Amino acid sequence: MYKAVVEEEPPNIPPLLVELGRFSHLKDARERGLVLAASGLTHSIGREGEIWTLRCAHEDVHRAIFELAAYEAELMTAEPVEEEGPPVKVRLWSLPLVALLMVGFAVAQAEMGEKWREAGILSSDLVCGRGEWWRTVTALTLHGDVPHVLANLGAGIWFGGLLVPSFGQGLTWLAVIVSGALGNALTAWAYHPGLHRSLGASSAVFGALGLLVGDALVRLLQRRSGRTWWRWVLPLGAGVGLLAFLGAGEGKSNVDVLAHLWGFAVGMVLGFGIGFFRPPPAGVVLQWSCGLAAGVLVATAWALAF
């Protein structure tokens, strides 16, 4: 229980004179200081021998005690840390393979030229009017220029690397492709009957970001305690912030912002569903089956395109 200890005010010392607590470790004092800072309360941390003291101003003492008491209560109701076995090695061999495939498709596009591009580009008229669904997949493997390839490659591998430890090698990339394809499909539907054409892996990249957010929300939902409002806001805020920062394209006319939004939305829903059932990332049969399905999906889409 926190209590205020008021000292007489020495001359020429700022009025942070109400002592709120004493701590043996600086880390503990800083954690409580962050709680006060998050509430807009000024605080100071001082050292007295081996003890660290946390202080605040006279006028803030009641709010400070309330915030610190709430923080301590949350710590007491938090889930106990379960004993874990030896750490499982996370293999990331799929990352260079996916990067190689993305570069390979870019080289094929450069060699084949306009014919390859027109065969796979996303077109709202052809997808919704003629049922050429495969374009929602083939468009993910096309790019506008070299910077476009590098941007999608970097962001895609980054988000994919964060997903693999949770979803596994095969399921990660199948989910990324499906979220990107569904994002493209919804984009084409939103523009139809108007004509809209686009290409690039961006919808899949932001689908991967949505998968991360959905997975984080499921992990929070499955907690037995400690589900405070800021724990919900953190993954959503981070995801939306990255979406706004990376997906808006700084107002460039050639950036398909709607595809980014749909990819993110589909990925978040899909990530929530996958995270809820939580298949084992180390399941060999499941992961190889999903990886094979991802490859077959892309291959089939290009076979239908030609």
Output the domain CATH number for residue 105: 1.20.1540.10
- Same domain assignment for residues 23 and 54: yes
Q: Are residues 102 and 146 in the same domain?
A: yes
- Summary mean pLDDT of the chain: 82
- The whole-number pLDDT of residue 73 equals 81
234 pLDDT band, cuts 50/70/90, is: low
Model confidence at 27, pLDDT cuts 50, 70, 90, reads confident
Predicted confidence (pLDDT) at residue 183 exceeds the cutoff of 90: yes
Please tell me whether residues 189 and 229 are part of one structural domain.
Answer: yes
Range of the domain at 46: 5-74
Answer whether 183's CB lies under 8 Å from 206's CB: yes
Query: What backbone phi and psi angles, to 5 degrees, belong to 56?
Result: -145, 175
On whether both 22 and 120 belong to a single domain, the answer is: no
Question: Which among 74, 106, 134 is the end of a domain?
Answer: 74
What's the mean pLDDT in 76-82?
56
Residue 134 pLDDT: 94
237 CB neighbour count, 10 Å cutoff? 12
Confidence bin at 277 (pLDDT 50/70/90): confident
Q: Are 239 and 182 in contact (CB under 8 A)?
A: no
Order of all β-strands in the sheet with 5-6 = 5-6, 18-23, 51-56, 43-48
Q: What are the backbone dihedrals phi and psi of residue 34, each rounded to the nearest 5 degrees, phi first?
A: -65, -35
The DSSP secondary-structure symbol of 86 reads S
In a domain, 123, yes or no: yes
Rounded mean pLDDT of 132-155? Answer: 90
Residues forming beta bridges with residue 18, ordered by sequence position: 6, 56
With bands split at pLDDT 50, 70 and 90, how would you rate the model's confidence at 87? very low
Beta bridge partners of 51: 48
254 shares a domain with 185: yes
Question: Does residue 147 surpass a pLDDT of 70?
Answer: yes
- Domain match, 65 and 172 both: no
Residue 6 parent element (H or E): strand 5-6
Can you tell me the distance from the alpha carbon of 84 to that of 254, in angstroms, rounded to the nearest whole number?
A: 48
d(C-alpha 124, C-alpha 130), whole Å? 9
Same structural domain, 163 and 256: yes
Q: Which tokens belong to 273? A: 């569903």
Domain shared by 124 and 42, yes or no: no
Query: What CA–CA distance (Å, rounded) separates 104 from 178?
Result: 20
CB 94 within 8 A of CB 172: yes
Q: Measure the CA–CA gap between 25 and 102, rounded to whole angstroms.
A: 50
pLDDT at residue 10 is higher than 50: no
Given 74, 105, 120, the domain boundary residue is 74
Residue 292: its pLDDT value, please?
96
Q: Let me know whether 109 and 166 are in one domain.
A: yes
- With respect to residue 85, please indicate whether it lies within any of the assigned structural domains: no
Residue 185 confidence (pLDDT) above 60: yes
> In sequence order, what are the residues at sequence separation of 6 or more whose Cβ sits closer than 8 angstroms to the Cβ of residue 281?
164, 165, 166, 167, 168, 169, 171, 287
Whether residue 298 has pLDDT greater than 80: yes
Q: What is the CATH number of the domain that holds 49?
A: 3.30.70.1530
Q: Is residue 50 assigned to a domain?
A: yes
Q: Is residue 81 part of a domain?
A: no
Contact status, residue 52 vs residue 33, Cβ threshold 8 Å: no
Question: Do 242 and 179 fall into the same domain?
Answer: yes
Per-residue pLDDT tens for 32-63? 888 888 888 888 888 888 899 998 888 888 88
User: What pLDDT is stored for residue 56 in this prediction?
Assistant: 87
- Structural domains counted in the chain: 2
Q: Within 10 Å of residue 277's Cβ, how many Cβ atoms?
A: 7
Tokens of 126: 């052809």
Tell whether 89 is covered by a domain. Answer: no
Residue 32 lies in a domain: yes
- What is the full DSSP assignment across 137-152? HHGGG--SSHHHHHHH
In which residue are the tokens 């990352």 written? 95
Kindly state whether residues 116 and 218 are assigned to the same domain. yes
Choose the final residue of a domain: 44, 74, 104: 74
Assign 286 a pLDDT band (cuts: 50, 70, 90). Answer: very high
Query: Which residues neighbour 147 within 8 Å (Cβ) at sequence distance 6 or greater?
Result: none
Within a domain: residue 86? no
* Residue the block writes with tokens 């990886």: 291
